[in-house]
Amino acid sequence: MTTAQQLDERYGRTRRRRWPWIAGILAAAALVGVLGWSVVSTQMNSVDADDLGFDLIDEHSVEVRFQVTGVQGKDVGCVVEALDEEFGVVGWKVIEIPAGDSHSQTYSATVPTVGEATTGLVKACWVA
């Protein structure tokens, strides 16, 4: 004769363990939270630089005008480059921009060169 417990086991009516499922769901939620905060914190510290123009002062210097858009209240560093006609780097300079109240600021930097430059541009900017 078949007992009630044997019938329950045969037809899947046994008590299921829910703790592994709950632990898995909580771990997945924590992982999503950590990844989401990682993306948000990276975007909060991003800086965008746009070239506005350049002027060749002489054969040993170029003035580069650029606009920095990004975080307010934090210092920013930028690398400004001078390139020759074959796009080789003939000069570069690190510019340190103090924290400001505005979201977007315009700057100008004179870059010394070792040869005649044909252009000047901002290579990269970051939160210092």
Mind listing the pLDDT tens digit for each residue in 61-72? 999 999 998 878
Are 16 and 61 part of one and the same domain? no
User: Phi/psi of residue 98, each to 5°?
Assistant: -70, 160
- Tell whether 40 and 66 lie within a shared domain: no
Range of the domain at 67: 48-127
Asked if residue 123 and residue 60 are part of one domain, the reply reads yes
The verdict on 57 and 117 lying in the same domain is yes
Top pLDDT among 120 and 103 is at 120
Q: Based on the fold, state whether residues 60 and 86 are members of the same structural domain.
A: yes
DSSP 80-109: EEEE-TTS-EEEEEEEEE---SSSEEEEEE
The tens digit of pLDDT for each residue in 38-47 reads 888 877 778 8
Give how many domains the chain has, as a whole number.
2
What is the predicted pLDDT for the residue at 113? 94
Query: Residues 39, 52: one domain?
Result: no
